[in-house]
Amino acid sequence: MHHYGITMLYYDITIIQYNFKMLYYDINMFHYDITMLHYDINMHYHNVT
C-alpha cells in the first residue's frame, strides 16, 4: 500500500510537469501569434501609406 502511494505521487508529479510543458507551449504559441499579428499590421500600415 505504501509503495502504491509513492507510485501515485510520482504519477501526479509527471502529470503536473506535462501540464506545465503544455502551458509553456501555449504561451509561446500565443506570443508567436501576437508577433505575427503585429507584423501583419505593420505591413498593412506601410502598404496603405
Report d(CA 38, CA 42) in Å as an integer: 6
Res. 5: pLDDT tops 70: yes
pLDDT tens digits, residue range 12-49?
A: 999 999 999 999 999 999 999 999 999 999 998 888 76
Domain limits at 12?
1-49
The residue type of 2 is: H
Work out how many domains the chain is built from and give that number: 1
Give the Cβ contact number of residue 45 at 10 Å.
9
Answer yes or no: pTM beyond 0.85: no
Quote the distance between the C-alpha of residue 33 and its chain's center: 12
Report d(CA 37, CA 45) in Å as an integer: 12
Q: What cell numbers appear for 30 in the block?
A: 500565443
